[in-house]
Amino acid sequence: MGSSTGTRNFGMRRFTNLVREGRLRSPAGSSLQLGSLVEQNPGTPAEIREADGTSGAAIGGSGSVLSANVGILWYEHDAQTYNDPAHGGAAGQLPQDLDTAPGGRMVQVLSGKGVKIWLRNTALDTTEPGLNFPASRAAVTIWDVAGTTVGETLGWNAATNTYDVTTDASEAFMVVTSIDATLLVVEATFLV
């Protein structure tokens, strides 16, 4: 996975069975959260979209994580293009310096039964100026802490942009293996 296996809110623990679909593009003008559940856009097959709760594979949607091209969003950029100061980026920026995938760029969709990840909710983050990312980074809630226990399955809730507990197998993308309530970190293993 290149020079990093994580961001502030999402990272890899085990990726032996990782499937990495890298021929899809994020929609122009979008800013999708890294680590969110995405699916191939049926209206524009060369693009992804956030997993949809109406016609897609998110909680409440008519789609299924078992049959759709669904996975976790990852962006591993080319430092010579996207992050070049001539393109508005900071030289030397790494994937972990980003919270979102830029619109219109090639992205990766990660899946694979048995892959283990961690997700972390983060508060507003202020840092010293001069680093490769903004001095103030917004708070991110990527999983719903309330009521989540080890052994439960998680699916994407498009209404809240978080992973939530689901008992529907067509919505369940991962199963919870560990929770650290103090650090707001959950570890989970992919089911698909």
Query: Does residue 189 register a pLDDT over 90?
Result: yes
Mean pLDDT, the chain, as a whole number? Answer: 83
- Per-residue pLDDT at 105: 84
| Domain extents in the chain | 10-190
Distance between start and end Cα atoms, the chain: 19
Instruction: Compute φ and ψ for 78, nearest 5 degrees.
Output: -95, 110
Instruction: Classify 86 as helix, strand or coil.
Output: helix
**Which residue type does 8 have?**
R
Across 96-121, average pLDDT = 87
Distance of CA 172 to the CA centre of its chain: 15
Query: Does residue 1 register a pLDDT over 50?
Result: no
This prediction has a pTM of 0.85
